[in-house]
Amino acid sequence: GQNIDQPTEMTATEGAIVQINCTYQTSGFNGLFWYQQHAGEAPTFLSYNVLDGLEEKGRFSSFLSRSKGYSYLLLKELQMKDSASYLCAVMDSNYQLIWGAGTKLIIKP
Amino acid sequence: ETGVTQTPRHLVMGMTNKKSLKCEQHLGHNAMYWYKQSAKKPLELMFVYNFKEQTENNSVPSRFSPECPNSSHLFLHLHTLQPEDSALYLCASSQDGGTSGSDEQFFGPGTRLTVL
């Protein structure tokens, strides 16, 4: 079966750095997405990786290793507004998105 | 504001009621999706429409009935629901309908459904 694993919850301190991991086992691979979802709001797109390596976008970076079935989202200089759930999703060989259950990130002052 | 709107935002209904959820996208996309989101569970894809044609139906019970009159509007008709159907129902749209890897989905804010 297809499976996406990510931690259920993480806590970090304002101003610090946090890394949210995602491992996947899917039938085929056509890219990996990270979305951010604030409580009661729509998920919004953060990043897309299809090749191995690091993609940097401001305070957020996303890394992919296809051989290891592994990705992480790195958030730097954490702000209180970064408190949200972070969803990892993989597009399989049928171009269907397979979703993880999300990681709830709690930022403390 | 993602360009995808959903109404109503909150809905409480009894098991014998009939109601409809509405989704509208203002992005000129060709594909629209219905997802169910339950607490601490992955997003569950329910239905996919590409160019108004249904291309996915992931074994969803018949008490959920989708309708896509045009590429900008999507409805989910609900009847004789069960309490376990209580969840957040999200609508999304994308440009290519999942025919390219980078086909980003844009989500609406969802309808929080409670079935009594």
B4 interfacial to chain A (CB closer than 8 Å) = yes
The whole-number pLDDT of residue B52 equals 75
Q: What span, in angstroms and rounded, lies between the C-alpha atoms of A79 and A81?
A: 5
Q: In this prediction, what percent of chain B has a pLDDT beyond 70?
A: 98
The whole-number pLDDT of residue B105 equals 93
The whole-number pLDDT of residue A26 equals 94
pLDDT higher than 80, residue B114: yes
By C-alpha distance, the chain A residue nearest B111 is A40
- Cβ-defined contact of A95 to B90 (cutoff 8 Å): no
The answer to whether residues A6 and A18 touch, using CB atoms and an 8 Å cutoff, is no
CA B79-B29-B45 angle, to 5 degrees, is 40
Contacts of residues B55-62 at CB distance under 8 Å and 24 or more positions apart, as own/partner, are B55/B97, B56/A96
Give CA B115 to chain center in angstroms. 17
Q: Are strands A84-91 and A70-75 parallel, antiparallel or unpaired?
A: unpaired
Quick: pLDDT tens for A61-95: 999 999 999 999 999 999 999 999 999 999 998 88
Listed residue (B57, B116, B59) closest to B82, CA to CA: B116
Quick: pLDDT tens for A26-36: 999 999 999 99
CA end-to-end span of chain B, whole Å? 31
The whole-number pLDDT of residue A31 equals 95
A96 vs B contacts (CB less than 8 Å): 45, 56, 98
Give the count of beta carbons closer than 10 Å to the beta carbon of residue A42.
Answer: 20
B89 interfacial to chain A (CB closer than 8 Å) = no
The whole-number pLDDT of residue B98 equals 67
Q: What is the mean pLDDT of chain B?
A: 91
User: Higher model confidence: residue B8 or residue B54?
Assistant: B8
Of B90, B99, B109, the CB nearest to A95: B99
pLDDT category of residue A1 using cuts at 50, 70 and 90? confident
Shortest CA gap A46–chain B (Å): 10
